Amino acid sequence: MYFKKPLILVLCLCGFLFSESLSSYQKACSSLDKLGEVRFKFSIKSPAELLNLTNEISLDKITTNEVIAYANQEEFEAFRKYNYEYEVLPYNDPVDEPNQMSDYANVTFPNFDWTKYPTYSGYLKIMEDLEKTYSDKVKLHQIGTSVRNRKLLVLNVSSNVGTKGNKPKFLMNAGIHGNELVPIMNMMRLVDWLCSKYSSDARAKRILDSIDMWVSPMLNPDGTYKGGNNASVVSNAQRYNNNRVDLNRNWARLPGAGQTPREEKETTAFLKYEKSHIWAMGIGWHSGTEGISYPWSSFGRAHPDKAWYEYVGDLYANQAQADGPNGFFDDIHNGNGQGYYHLYPAKGTAKDAICFYQNTRTNCHESSTTKNMPASRLNNYWNYHFKATLKYVQEALHGIRGVVKDSDTKKALPAKVWVEGHDKNQDRSYIFADTTNNVGNYHRLIIAGTYNLTFSCEAYNCQSKTVRNIQVRNGRATFVDVELDCDISPIGQSVKLTNNAISIKKTNKGIEFTCGNKNIVGASIYNVKGKVVASLSTRPGMNRFVWNGKGNNNTAVSNGCYLVTLQTTKGQLTKRFNFAH
């Protein structure tokens, strides 16, 4: 896919097109030769022209009809076929002062100097010391490594970190483009502020007491530290990862948006991490312009929760504009707009993929027009975004929320929550209750109104339930707890089967399981949490077992839903049943 350096220039010169100047093409080849990427601008006649280009290059910013974009070698050759005139730009924004870096050998919180960017070792030190300093509120996780084996880190932040409870999970990512530096610093600083101010600021206390935050400041460390782990300045930071791939075009495409590209190592790591949680809300931080873009970027159709996205986005934008200088945070539709129409069409973005495949309400927040911000101005941009960020995060506590349980066992259920007449399957706007914390809590963020919610859980053979006329006010939470009847059919009558080879009946000795297969080598009873309750004794030739309703500790189990699993020499047989003493 990539050529050796001398060959790139030869190929570029041989491929010279009539519409481009030799000077522009030589500059493009030089950038591709040196950096593996090129940054350039060109003009279009109408936004419709972008629909094809978004599949070829990485769009970055549009001002009227002028487009700024990035491309690797393959992408740039595809762009050239459209025969646009273009101008090669300096790779990073020109700065009037060098961005000095520090390894932060002597990190101290909360009295920390945020006016220097960290080296890679400095970044690790900050993340590690946030956990050490605030050990009761911060837990550091490594979820993988980059192409060049730099650590991919996540901070879990909460007043009772590591304890499972009824809190919405808030996902906050930054640095997916390695040269967008402001949000990387602001996110680490936010963690420091929340923890250090927990005892003295009501906003910090409310957020940490009520929200389970997961903060990933740097998704693309290879791009950020392209100049090396211990460079004295960060001016060599680049957009793409080490394989010259835009990670924010590398996520699963939505249905109808084309073929999903081969996942990069960083994308795979974060997908695995994100799929292990149920997220209520999130922010994907960027820089290069100012404003918020909400889903969808892949399509022009409106998300069912467009009104909610506009409401919470305006809350943020209005606060940021009030705290910033004149003209701040108004580039994207006066501060808040749909990605497809008000930023640019883009496929394979983290925002769309997380919103669609994780059933999450997430936005893209563009923090500054300058990507490689002079470090001396970081304090200013922290102040511009500080209050708006706190206000936005707390929106995760509003809408409709509650807990879904099984009516008999009181166990948490991973129920689907569907808003009647509102949700759409094509947008996967429905959500699920979270059982990863053994609570079954759900958080349906939605604009003010009156709604009917249907709760269902096919995995546990539950009868669905609709709760009607739920009143929602903006800035408030409406609590609705629900219990579902699961596997309610009596033993011996029709129940939902996962395997028809097992018959079940109640006897005076307990529950009798019969199977035509005589090659049984093991039998187990599982509860709804997947835990083995009882292991039944077996012997060659047996095809009938009796369970006396007691667990492995010879103590009677509670009434409720269970699974019986028979291991045979030819495979596994499983059937769900309801048990009552």
At 468-480, the pLDDT tens digits run: 999 999 999 999 9
> How many CB atoms sit inside 10 A of residue 524's CB?
16
Q: Which residues contact 500 (CB under 8 A, 6 or more apart)?
A: none
Task: Judge whether 449 and 520 are in contact, CB under 8 Å.
Answer: no
Task: Judge whether 76 and 42 are in contact, CB under 8 Å.
Answer: no
pLDDT of residue 279: 96
pLDDT of residue 497: 40
Task: Judge whether 209 and 198 are in contact, CB under 8 Å.
Answer: no
At 464-512, the pLDDT tens digits run: 999 999 999 999 999 999 999 886 433 333 333 445 678 888 887 788 8
Bigger pLDDT: 88 or 549?
88
Q: In this structure, what DSSP letter does residue 511 have?
A: E
- The rounded Cα 581 to chain-centroid distance in angstroms is 44
What average pLDDT does the structure give for the chain? 88
H-state helical runs in 54-181? 73-80, 120-133
At 286-308, the pLDDT tens digits run: 999 999 999 999 999 999 999 99
pLDDT of residue 538: 73
pLDDT of residue 18: 46
Out of 21-30, 50-59, 564-573, least confident range: 564-573
* Max CA separation in the chain (angstroms): 92
Task: Judge whether 274 and 436 are in contact, CB under 8 Å.
Answer: no
pLDDT category of residue 529 using cuts at 50, 70 and 90 = low
Domains and CATH numbers, the chain: 5-88 (3.30.70), 103-238+255-397 (3.40.630.10), 399-484 (2.60.40.1120), 502-579 (2.60.40.3080)
Q: Which residues contact 492 (CB under 8 A, 6 or more apart)?
A: 504, 505, 506
| Six token digits for residue 535 | 């292991």
pLDDT category of residue 111 using cuts at 50, 70 and 90 = confident
At 115-171, the pLDDT tens digits run: 889 999 999 999 999 999 999 999 999 999 999 999 999 999 999 998 888 999 999
**DSSP E strands: which ranges in 165-294?**
169-173, 212-216, 281-286, 289-294
pLDDT category of residue 311 using cuts at 50, 70 and 90 = very high
Report whether the peptide linkage leading into residue 296 is cis, meaning its omega lies within 30 degrees of zero: yes
Out of 48-52, 132-136, 518-522, least confident range: 518-522
pLDDT of residue 233: 64
Mean pLDDT, range 18-44, rounded to an integer = 86
Task: Judge whether 362 and 279 are in contact, CB under 8 Å.
Answer: yes
| Identity of the amino acid at 133 | T
Tell me the β-bridge partners of 16.
none
Report the alpha-carbon distance of residue 212 to residue 422 in Å, rounded. 27
Judge whether residue 547 has pLDDT over 50: yes
Q: Is 239 exposed, middle or buried (0-12, 13-18, 19+ CB in 10 A)?
A: buried
pLDDT category of residue 576 using cuts at 50, 70 and 90 = confident
Length of the chain: 581
pLDDT of residue 1: 33
Report the alpha-carbon distance of residue 383 to residue 143 in Å, rounded. 31
DSSP assignment of 258-294 equals -PPPPPPHHHHHHHHHHHTS--SEEEEEE-SEEEEEE
pLDDT category of residue 9 using cuts at 50, 70 and 90 = very low
Report the alpha-carbon distance of residue 456 to residue 127 in Å, rounded. 41
pLDDT of residue 492: 32
* Global confidence as pTM: 0.81
Q: What is the CA radius of gyration of the chain?
A: 28
Q: In this structure, what DSSP letter does residue 247 have?
A: G
Percent of the chain with pLDDT over 90: 66
Question: CA angle 199-205-206, nearest 5°?
Answer: 160
pLDDT of residue 94: 64
Report the alpha-carbon distance of residue 171 to residue 181 in Å, rounded. 19
